[in-house]
Every structure is written in C-alpha cells, then in structure tokens.
Amino acid sequence: MSARAGLAVAAVLAGFLFAGSESRQRWTPIVFEEIAGEAGIRFVLNNSATPNKHQIETMPAGVGIIDFDNDGFEDVYFVNGASIPRLAKDAPSYWNRLYRNLGNGSFRDVTQEAGVAGRGYGMAVAV
C-alpha cells in the first residue's frame, strides 16, 4: 500500500471512530422480532433435501411482494420446492403460497382460491 493510500485509510478510520463514538450514545439498537406466525404467514420451505445434494434442492424457493388483488396492500407470494425425483407438488407441503395482506398487520392464505399452488419445483419468482 502506498503512503498516500495508507493516509486515506487512516483518515477514513479516524472519521468512523469520531462519528461512531457520538452516535453510540444517541441511538437505540435495532431489534427484530419474529412475528410471521402471529401475522398469519406460516410458510415452510420444503425443498426435498437429500444426502445427494442435487442442484435443484440447493437453490429452491423465492419470495415476491406484489399487490395481486389491487387493494393497495402488498401481498406475499412464496415459491416452494417439490418431491424429488418426480419434481411434482404431490402434497400441500410443497405448494407455493400466496398470503393476502388484510391491511391490519395480518395475512390470510389465499393459495387455493387464487389457484397458485403450482405444479413443479419452484426456484424463483419475478414480479
């Protein structure tokens, strides 16, 4: 590292230390809380994991946020795996799931009524 680059790194670090000491006294730490179940979202990924680690089972799922019913609230769509080797959604545990945002902090599973459970092994979603 050149002397100039070393000086630049030292200046940046000094700035972080100076700014950090003041901000630690003023800011409350961010705390996350798991509330998905309480909100009605009960999605569980089922990728049919095997000891063979097939490529498809190592890259499953996806999630899309979209207002599918145009009510102004963002709904959540989860893409799920399927049984291996058939790659079929032959049980509800493999269904993709669509959760309608009720606008009050809770969601309802509308997968069946929307007809979006899927057929094959899901790996992603685009909205």
List the strands of the sheet with 107-109, edge to edge. 62-66, 75-79, 97-101, 107-109
Over the range 11-26, which residues count as b (16 or more CB within 10 Å of their CB) and which as e?
eeeeeeeeeeeeeeee
- With 0.95 as the threshold, say if the pTM is over it: no
Residue 6 within any structural domain of the chain: no
pLDDT band for 107, please (50, 70, 90 cuts): very high
Amino acid occupying residue 71: D
pLDDT tens for 55-97 read: 888 888 899 999 999 999 999 999 999 998 889 999 999 999 9
* Residue 45 main-chain phi, psi, to 5 deg: -65, 130
Residue 110 burial by CB count (10 A; 0-12/13-18/19+): exposed, middle or buried?
Answer: middle
Q: Does residue 21 form part of some domain? A: no
Domain assignment of residue 52, given as a range: 39-114
- For the chain, how many structural domains are there in total? 1
In Å, the largest CA–CA distance within the chain is 66
| Residue 68 counted as domain residue | yes
Q: Helix (H) and strand (E) counts for the chain?
A: 4, 4
Nearest in space to 101 (alpha carbons), one of 78, 77, 75: 75
